[in-house]
Amino acid sequence: MRIAHFSDLHYGTATLDEADRCFGAAVDRAIAARAEAAVLSGDATDHGLDLHEPAALRLLAQVRRLASHCPVLMLQGTFSHEPPGTLAVFRLLGARYPVHAAERIEQVALLADGRWQASAGWCFDAVPPGARALFSCVPTINKAVVAATVGSAEAAQAVGEHLARLLAGFAPANRRARAQDIPTIAVSHGTVFGSVNEHGVPMAGFDHEFSTGALFATEARAVMLGHIHRHQRWEQDGPAGRQCIAYAGSIGRFHYGEEGDKGFLLWTVAADAADCELLPTPACRTVDIVFEGRPDLDALREAIARHGVDGARVRVRWTVADEDRHAVDRAAIMRLLAGAAQTKLEGRIVPVVRTRAAGIAQLGSLADKVRVWAELTGVGPAGLLACLAVLEAEAPAAIAERVLQGAGGLGASSSADCR
């Protein structure tokens, strides 16, 4: 069975152009490849959308176009991106094939006539008659509910433990489906321990939902994941056949510095094996140009010639000391990058660090404090001590008069030198 797997579409106000261009191209390729079903594994939207917004209308139109070709299953994603209830409207599209919104833990069978049949509880007691494929759905877990039950300190570990037991609980139903030569698929949205995000950072921590072992324990042939924006996969050959876990990654490139190709997965799933192929989308190109110090315009020209920034999204980053912050010619940088589709300038300012002398406050006189400070900072103390002597010996008016006389060319005095 050929299944098109899309994820992390992130339709929103700021992301609409990238999301719609890439998802539209992906739908075209899935239709051309004659996908028999489609899975959207969470985060179809970037934030809560009103139905009249252009992003909502374009997403609905693309999903309806997809559902006119094959049955579609949509999984609930991260609540901040896809608020609960967002997916309900997709059930009403009225295309040739139905759209099933998986908003709870459940199993769903794809029937021979293209309809979806969901389990009454969290799993089927028996495989529904006429099933072509069996999907085990685990949407985003509300960790706040778990924290309210077991306490915030234990919530992260409890989520992982409960999900591991749940995933293993799908295995008997998947074994029954496999015995009837029915492909089995698990769909979820979350973080696999040890996965790598789109910026190349390994995801290692106690608050990640899954391990590869727990996902393989479902005994599903294919495990289709969302949430991480970088495509990656894990495989295992076991007694029951080949299993494959894969993130489709985001449909487009929504942040600077993202690594890896963008696209969707075309799966081939049988009762005893599964495999997938990443099909690229026309995601935008991003270029990072980094300077350790102040941006060098000649070096920037060379980088532009080397990378070719026309039509790309370019980010220029630099690090300068606080006293050099105003020496960066932002206007010149923007002129050189005029051909870029979008430009972002990020300057990191290193603040001046003033060294403190331990115990200086305990010294008896101001002169002693000046000597210690001068020794610590490498400054000659003689001139400072002379100025200090003038300040202590003369009235402010007299010092000011001498400074003015020195400025007027009547000859500098010791107090004028103290300027």
The predicted structure's pLDDT at residue 376: 78
How far apart CA 110 and CA 74 sit, in angstroms, is 13
What is the β-pairing status of strands 106-111 and 131-138?
Answer: antiparallel
- Dihedral angle, C-alpha 331, 335, 337, 338, nearest 10 °: 130
| DSSP assignment letter at 363 | -
Tokens of 201: 């950072």
Q: How many CB atoms lie within 10 A of CB 371?
A: 15
| DSSP assignment letter at 170 | T
Q: SS3 of 327, please?
A: helix
pLDDT band at residue 407, thresholds of 50, 70 and 90? low
pLDDT tens digits, one per residue of 31-75: 999 999 999 999 999 999 999 999 999 999 999 999 999 999 999
CB neighbour burial string for 74-98, b if at least 16 within 10 angstroms, e if fewer: bbbbbeebbeeebbeebeebebebb
Question: H-helix or E-strand containing 178?
Answer: helix 171-179
346-366: average pLDDT: 76
Strand stretches in 23-155, DSSP E: 37-40, 72-75, 99-102, 106-111, 116-118, 131-138
Range of lowest pLDDT (6-10, 131-135, 140-144, 297-301): 140-144
CATH topology of domain 2-280: Purple Acid Phosphatase; chain A, domain 2 (3.60.21)
Residue 73, strand partner residues: 39, 100
pLDDT band at residue 107, thresholds of 50, 70 and 90? very high
How far apart CA 242 and CA 236 sit, in angstroms, is 6
pLDDT tens digits, one per residue of 227-242: 999 999 999 997 778 9
Model pTM greater than 0.75?
Answer: yes
159-176: average pLDDT: 91
CB 28 within 8 A of CB 63: no
pLDDT tens digits, one per residue of 290-347: 998 889 999 999 999 988 888 889 999 999 888 778 889 999 999 999 989 889 999 9
